[in-house]
């Protein structure tokens, strides 16, 4: 069954990419949602396309999406979709956004896909299987060993995502790492799964921001938890630690605690 699920996720990503690519670096009508993040016709059309394909193949499955909300969220299998993660990057022409398609079974992520439709890169992680990676630019799908945070490459989308209470905790971690690179959204987690980034720490992530990422990170040999080192939850605060080398996790948790 897992192969059927993976095939459906890939087909949905292919269909979404066909919607997104013609609009990338074109003139788009950008609106403001309630949280002031940009929304384009590409977001909405891509999510509609993904939902339609998944509903056709698995009519009993649920879905949670950024643009169109929940359907059958209490089902055994629930797809979690972000049609364009990193919309700000998308509307400014930077190819570090991605389409995220994740699948939860009984509330636990079991399948994740990151697709970068502009560059042709795709990461697929599934429970019980190794990481699948496709790219015309190369890259090795495996995390790297990192002995300590002092040697680690840290990535974070933006310092603005942290609350006043979280900011000094992140600052402690940042000062303990080799350096920090800002920006990247889901793409940073893909780079972690290629052994190019060692740790990603973020906050205020919604389920559609992280459900697809966890299986990819874990399939590559890494780990992904909340700031207390506990499994991520749909009702959690969205605080995320992703590490390429799980040995980094206790040190990171201690600094963020």
32 or 9, which is more confident:
9
Choose among 90, 92, 91, 81: nearest CA to 117.
90
Q: Which fold has domain 2-134?
A: Fructose-1,6-Bisphosphatase; Chain A, domain 1 (3.30.540)
pLDDT over 70 percentage in the chain:
96
Sole residue written with tokens 């630690």: 241
Using CA atoms, how far apart are residues 144 and 159, in angstroms rounded to an integer? 25
| pLDDT, averaged across the chain | 94
Residues of the chain with CATH 3.40.190.80: 149-256
- At residue 147, the pLDDT reads 84
Helices (H) and strands (E) in the chain, counts: 8, 14
- At residue 134, the pLDDT reads 96
- At residue 62, the pLDDT reads 98
Residues of the chain with CATH 3.30.540.10: 2-134
Q: Is 43 annotated as a binding residue?
A: no
Q: Is 66 annotated as a binding residue?
A: yes
Q: Is the pLDDT of residue 173 over 80?
A: yes
- At residue 29, the pLDDT reads 61
The enclosing H or E element of 241 equals: strand 240-243
pLDDT tens for each residue of 220-251: 999 999 999 999 999 999 999 999 999 999 99
Q: What is the pTM of this model?
A: 0.95
Using only the alpha carbons of the chain, give its radius of gyration: 17
CA distances from 57 to 12, 51, 60, 165 (A): 10, 10, 9, 44
**Alpha carbon of residue 157 to chain centroid:** 12
24 or 36, which is more confident:
24
**Does the domain at residues 149-256 carry the CATH identifier 3.90.105.10?**
no
Tell me the HSE value of 86 on the side-chain side, using a 13 A CA sphere: 29
Band the pLDDT of 10: cuts 50, 70, 90.
very high
Choose among 185, 190, 183: nearest CA to 219.
190
Using CA atoms, how far apart are residues 210 and 81, in angstroms rounded to an integer? 10
Q: Going by C-beta distance under 8 Å and a sequence separation of 6 or more, which residues neighbour residue 68?
A: 44, 47, 48, 51
The two most distant CA atoms of the chain are separated, in Å, by 49
Q: Is the pLDDT of residue 94 over 70?
A: yes
Choose among 160, 132, 166, 149: nearest CA to 252.
149
- At residue 242, the pLDDT reads 98
Using CA atoms, how far apart are residues 161 and 141, in angstroms rounded to an integer? 28
Q: What number is the average pLDDT over the span 110-129? A: 96
Q: Is 82 annotated as a binding residue?
A: yes
Neighbour tally for 206: CB within 10 Å: 15
Q: What is the 3-state secondary structure (H, E, C) of 45-84?
A: HHHHHHHHHHHHHCCCCEEEECCCEEECCCCCEEEEEEEE
Q: Which two tokens mark 40?
A: 């384009």
Q: Is the pLDDT of residue 32 over 70?
A: no
pLDDT tens for each residue of 37-76: 667 888 999 999 999 999 999 999 999 999 999 999 999 9
Choose among 91, 89, 73: nearest CA to 81.
73
Q: Is 84 annotated as a binding residue?
A: yes
191 or 26, which is more confident:
191
Q: Is 129 annotated as a binding residue?
A: no
Strand duo 62-65 + 179-182: pairing: unpaired
- At residue 35, the pLDDT reads 65
Using CA atoms, how far apart are residues 10 and 114, in angstroms rounded to an integer? 10
pLDDT tens for each residue of 188-227: 999 999 999 999 999 999 999 999 999 999 999 999 999 9
Using CA atoms, how far apart are residues 223 and 246, in angstroms rounded to an integer? 6
- At residue 128, the pLDDT reads 87
């Amino acid at each position: 069954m897992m192969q059927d699920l993976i095939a459906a996720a890939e087909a949905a990503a292919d269909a979404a990419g066909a919607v997104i690519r013609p609009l990338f670096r074109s003139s788009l009508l950008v609106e403001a949602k309630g949280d002031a993040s940009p929304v384009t016709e590409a977001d909405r059309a891509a999510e509609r396309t993904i939902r339609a394909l998944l509903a056709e193949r698995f009519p009993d499955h649920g879905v949670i999406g950024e643009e169109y909300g929940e359907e059958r969220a209490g089902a055994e299998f629930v797809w979690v979709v972000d049609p364009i993660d990193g919309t700000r990057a998308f509307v400014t022409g930077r190819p570090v956004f991605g389409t995220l398609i994740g699948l939860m079974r009984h509330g636990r992520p079991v399948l994740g896909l990151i697709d970068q439709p502009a560059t042709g890169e795709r990461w697929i992680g599934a429970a019980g299987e190794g990481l699948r990676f496709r790219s015309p630019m190369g890259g090795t799908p495996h995390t790297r060993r990192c002995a300590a945070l002092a040697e680690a490459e840290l990535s974070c989308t933006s310092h603005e995502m942290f609350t006043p209470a979280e900011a000094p905790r992140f600052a402690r971690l940042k000062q303990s790492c080799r350096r920090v690179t800002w920006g990247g959204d889901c793409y940073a987690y893909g780079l972690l799964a290629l052994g190019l980034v060692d740790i990603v720490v973020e906050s205020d992530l919604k389920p559609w921001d992280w459900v697809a990422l966890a299986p990819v990170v874990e399939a590559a040999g890494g780990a992904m938890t909340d700031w207390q080192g506990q499994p991520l939850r749909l009702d959690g605060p969205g605080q995320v630690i992703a590490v390429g080398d799980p040995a980094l996790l206790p040190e990171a948790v201690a600094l963020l605690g």
